[in-house]
Amino acid sequence: MWSLAWAATAGLVLAYRVGLPVLRSVRHDPRVAEVRPEGPGVVSVLCQGRRLERLPVSGGQFFFWRFLTRDLWWQAHPYTLSALPRASYLRLTVKGVGDHSAALARLQPGTRVAIEGPYGVFTRHSQRRPRVLLIAAGIGVTSVRALLEDLPRGAKPVVVLRATRREDLVLGTEIADLVKRRGGQVHELTGSRGQATIDPHSLRRAVPDLRERDVYVCGPAEFVTDIVEVARWLGVSDEAIHHEAYAL
């Protein structure tokens, strides 16, 4: 019985961590189509392929990406989709903060890509209340942008974006358009931590009905920790707080 249990476990691991990723990568055949600058040190990688809209992805989820070049083929890194899949393309948006992410800016069109996933619960399926507050800092904006696209019309989301400089608010135009179509509001905060802080007073003023919303937070680990504590202090229950931290 123990031998069968071990064999079944190993089979499941091989099927879902090796077999399924290989099958999806071959079936959809994603390849780099374009690398597009989005802001200082930030690029979007657009991948073309076959029937990509059939991938079972929710806004806010991520894949492990393996770019099949001589220098990168042996590394698989997690990057969130910055838009829901379309029939002909996938898009990820990455900030060059490490060797791998910085190398993506040099990818050439035609580069083959292997994908594993999707993973993650930072999605609308975790939502407990009718409306949401989405808060993002830095490259955490990618998850928020894709999650917004997955929300229904009339969702009336409130979005708070935090960056040191205005040019660091990447994908801001797309987010503003998605929020407008869903009847929501966008608050952009730029400046140093002291100038553009998110504290209980400012958050309660920006979102008076905060306790009636789910709160989604994405960004650097320290930022996420601080915002989660603020939300709890304002009375948001843990089940209504969803967060994802980006780190090297």
pLDDT at 217: 98
pLDDT digits (tens, 9 = 90+) for 93-109: 999 988 999 999 999 99
Long-range contacts of 220-225 (CB under 8 A, 24+ apart): 220/137, 220/138, 220/140, 220/245, 220/246, 220/247, 221/245, 221/246, 221/247, 223/137, 223/138, 223/140, 223/162, 224/140
Instruction: Give the containing element (helix H, strand E) for 134.
Output: strand 131-137
Sheet of strand 62-67, all strands in order from the earlier edge strand to the far edge: 77-80, 62-67, 113-119
Long-range contacts of 220-223 (CB under 8 A, 24+ apart): 220/137, 220/138, 220/140, 220/245, 220/246, 220/247, 221/245, 221/246, 221/247, 223/137, 223/138, 223/140, 223/162
Domain boundaries, the chain: 2-119, 124-246
pLDDT digits (tens, 9 = 90+) for 172-222: 999 999 999 999 999 999 988 777 889 999 999 999 999 999 999 999 999
pLDDT at 12: 53
CATH classification of 2-119, choosing from 2.40.30.10, 3.30.450.40, 3.10.350.10, 1.10.287.610? 2.40.30.10
pLDDT at 77: 94
Question: Could you tell me if 244 and 219 are in contact, meaning their C-beta atoms sit under 8 angstroms apart?
Answer: no
pLDDT at 14 over 50: no
Query: Length of the chain in residues, anyone?
Result: 248
How many Å apart are CA 212 and CA 101, to the nearest integer? 37
- The residue assigned the tokens 């770019």 is 67
CATH classification of 124-246, choosing from 3.90.79.10, 3.40.50.80, 3.20.20.70, 3.10.105.10? 3.40.50.80
